[in-house]
Chains A and B, each alone.
Chain A
Amino acid sequence: MKSKKKIQVFPIVNGLIFIIISLIIIVPIWKILVDSFDLKTAYGMKLWPEEFGLTGYITVFKNPTMYQPLIISFITTICGTAVALILSTFGAYVLIQYDMPGRNFMANMLLFTMIFNGGMIPTYLVLKSLHLTNTLWVVILFPALNVYNLVLMRNFFEGIPASLFESATLDGCSPMQTFIRIVLPMSKAALASIGLMFAVSYWNDYTHYKLYITNSDLYNFQMKLRGMIMGSDSPAVTAGVTENTIKNAAIIIVILPFMILYPFLQKYFVKGVNIGAVKE
């Protein structure tokens, strides 16, 4: 009897705990969303806008110094993800050629960068001497070679049956043809998972901008938002809207594209983590 009663109580308590945990996650984001629509400044504990208005958003989209960083975020995310996927798939495809002379040297050359690096300042000095600082090249190209993601991609590729490669070679396919006709179609899930990981990290990039870009015309939206929150870059306040409302609207704008896509993409992210954990 006693144990039966326990079984009935536990799921309710457990469910309640997880409702509370979910609320702890949601409330801060909800609060920002609400305040971005609230034209009254005294937000306090309200979880619903007191005076509803879209002025915060309109201000962002009307002001070139606000929407230009957003455009830069989009451009660098798209270009960066494309370059990163090319490097990861090319590198991973070469690393599964175990019979190729020099293959181990190539693998070790990449893996060594995971153990040791030059550090923040020598990297900065090299990029500066190559005239890459204060260009969008640096924020597109530098994060594109990610050895960890390349190894993940290699793990995916290793699951492709060797017989497919053999028959492709017998049919006279060049490495590039085999890559396009067999490797890429066989690893759509991997391309989605790793591509999304790259896209999120490009969209969210702040460190590379902070270190290598001082020209505010080249800032992405993360840099712009940071400047606004720190008060070093006050948003242009127009009539009927406060600075905080604009800040809240900016936060919502920068997370919105991801929030919309996220429920559909979640499985690819989870897949990426699990393949990495299982096979590494």
Chain B
Amino acid sequence: MKNNKKQSAAPSANNSRKHLAAKIYKYRGFYLMFLPVFIFAVIFFYLPMLGIRYAFTDYNGIKDPTFTGLANFEKMFSMPNFWSAFTNTLEISIIKLFLTVAVAVVVSIFLNEIANIHFKKVVQTIIYLPHFMSWVVTASVFSLILAPTSQGLVNTFLVEMGVVSADNMIYFLGDTKWWRFAYYLINIWKETGWQTVIFMATLSGINTELYEAASIDGAGRWGKMRYITFPALANTILTVLILNLAKVMNLFESAFVLQNDAVLGTANVLETYIYYQTFNSGAIPNYGYTTAVGLFKSIIGCVLVLFCNWLSKKVRDGRGIV
């Protein structure tokens, strides 16, 4: 759109080169301002990309890397732990995404029905809050509250209610049967409120005449919610799903701080698998192998981003996500 500001091409090549040189000279101050950004991008993003070559080598950080072809990938595909981390990543990310968005949509629709503006503001302030707590704090809060001891709030409550016995408390974060359930609930607790921000913004844009017209046509509260409010959100829901689908492979911190050795089979995701294999395996790290796993993850992630970008352009009138 802004590109049509470009001046018409100069008549001869020589002239255009002079013209370009003059332009570059004119913008010299801007190049200088971009320099720090450029340096940061090279150091933190582009130099690591060169490191991908280690994926095809045997490298432990001490001896020089030796080329081994696709051996790391063969090893990776034969490892059951790798496959479980891969499927866990997809399952946990995608279920988490759909759950939090679904809950956020329902909460937004009902939040929109609150007539008292002060009460609405107070509720919004409260439900946004957990988003700003770090994952470390969230994990700390819940490991104390879900503790399977008489000090844990939830287990004490369950004992009081007679659901579990005092000597058979549920170790939510240390039991493979319960871990994912707890993980999803903690995610809903932390992120649902903040997700409503974007939905509430869309709802505030609905023309109130639509509601009035529906009232005249005899639609009740449920009818209006079902036929006006919810459809108005459809585009935003799609946008949020696409934006987040592009990021499903990046799952790390939330899983990392909530997992422990007892639940790794069901809780280990690719990024945490790479972390443990490199830094916590007890042996000399095999950087070549973990770089290969990272490369596999990056490629899947890249394909997902490009797919979501394509999808976004298709359903959102040409607007991509990158």
Known A25-B126, A25-B129, A273-B198; contact A145-B40, beta-carbon cutoff 8 A: yes
Q: Are A115 and B322 neighbours in the complex by a CB distance under 8 Å?
A: yes
Q: Are A6 and B220 neighbours in the complex by a CB distance under 8 Å?
A: yes
Contacts of B50 in A (CB 8 A): 118, 122, 126
Those of B1-43 within 8 Å (CB) of chain A: 2-3, 5-7, 20, 23-24, 27, 29-31, 33-34, 36-38, 40-41, 43
Known A22-B123, A262-B129; contact A43-B52, beta-carbon cutoff 8 A: no
Query: CB of A190 within 8 A of chain B?
Result: no
Contacts of B150 in A (CB 8 A): 42, 44
Contacts of A244 in B (CB 8 A): 144, 151
Query: CB of B73 within 8 A of chain A?
Result: no
Q: Are B37 and A91 neighbours in the complex by a CB distance under 8 Å?
A: yes
Query: CB of B274 within 8 A of chain A?
Result: yes
Closest B residue to A26 using CB positions: B126
Contacts of A31 in B (CB 8 A): 144-145, 153
The distance from the CB of A27 to the nearest CB of chain B, in whole angstroms, is 8
Q: Are A43 and B48 neighbours in the complex by a CB distance under 8 Å?
A: no
Query: CB of A269 within 8 A of chain B?
Result: yes
Q: Are A206 and B274 neighbours in the complex by a CB distance under 8 Å?
A: no
Known A45-B160, A116-B302, A222-B136; contact A121-B278, beta-carbon cutoff 8 A: yes
Which of B75-83, B89-97, B110-118, B175-183 participates in binding chain A? B110-118
The distance from the CB of B163 to the nearest CB of chain A, in whole angstroms, is 14
Closest B residue to A108 using CB positions: B322
Contacts of A270 in B (CB 8 A): 128, 197
- Name A's interface SS: helix
The distance from the CB of A111 to the nearest CB of chain B, in whole angstroms, is 5
Contact of B134 among A6, A98, A174, A206 (CB under 8 A): A206
User: What separation, in Å, do the CA atoms of A244 and B126 have in the docked complex?
Assistant: 26
Q: Are A115 and B127 neighbours in the complex by a CB distance under 8 Å?
A: no
Contact of A43 among B43, B151, B291 (CB under 8 A): B151
Query: CB of B201 within 8 A of chain A?
Result: yes
Closest A residue to B290 using CB positions: A121
Known A6-B221, A121-B51, A125-B51; contact A18-B110, beta-carbon cutoff 8 A: yes
Query: CB of A280 within 8 A of chain B?
Result: yes
Q: Mark B213-227, 1 if CB is under 8 A from A, else 0.
A: 000000011000000
Q: Are A120 and B271 neighbours in the complex by a CB distance under 8 Å?
A: yes
Known A113-B45, A122-B52, A247-B140; contact A21-B294, beta-carbon cutoff 8 A: no
Q: Are A277 and B201 neighbours in the complex by a CB distance under 8 Å?
A: yes
Contact of B295 among A119, A229, A263 (CB under 8 A): A119
Q: Are B141 and A29 neighbours in the complex by a CB distance under 8 Å?
A: yes
The distance from the CB of A84 to the nearest CB of chain B, in whole angstroms, is 10
Known A28-B142, A91-B34; contact A204-B134, beta-carbon cutoff 8 A: yes
Q: Are B27 and A42 neighbours in the complex by a CB distance under 8 Å?
A: no
Those of A35-71 within 8 Å (CB) of chain B: 35, 41-45
Size category, B interface: 35 or more
Contact of B157 among A45, A122, A175, A273 (CB under 8 A): A45
Q: Are B45 and A229 neighbours in the complex by a CB distance under 8 Å?
A: no
User: What separation, in Å, do the CA atoms of A248 and B128 have in the docked complex?
Assistant: 22
User: What separation, in Å, do the CA atoms of A119 and B133 have in the docked complex?
Assistant: 26
Query: CB of A266 within 8 A of chain B?
Result: yes
Of the listed residues B110, B115, B142, the one surrounded by the most CB atoms of chain A closer than 10 A to its CB is B110
Known: A119-B294, A122-B49, A122-B50. 18 other contacts (CB 8 A): A7-B221, A18-B119, A31-B153, A44-B150, A87-B40, A99-B7, A102-B24, A109-B41, A115-B305, A115-B306, A120-B290, A122-B294, A125-B51, A126-B43, A204-B134, A225-B136, A226-B140, A248-B144
B residues in contact (CB < 8 Å) with A: 2-3, 5-7, 20, 23-24, 27, 29-31, 33-34, 36-38, 40-41, 43-45, 47-52, 54, 61, 107, 110-111, 113-116, 119, 122-123, 125-130, 132-137, 139-145, 150-151, 153, 156-157, 160, 189, 193-194, 197-198, 201, 220-221, 236, 239, 252-253, 256-257, 271, 274-275, 278, 287, 290-291, 294-295, 297-298, 301-302, 305-306, 319, 321-322
| 12 sampled A-B residue pairs with Cβ under 8 A | A6-B221, A25-B129, A25-B130, A27-B153, A31-B144, A45-B156, A118-B52, A118-B294, A120-B294, A126-B48, A145-B40, A254-B137
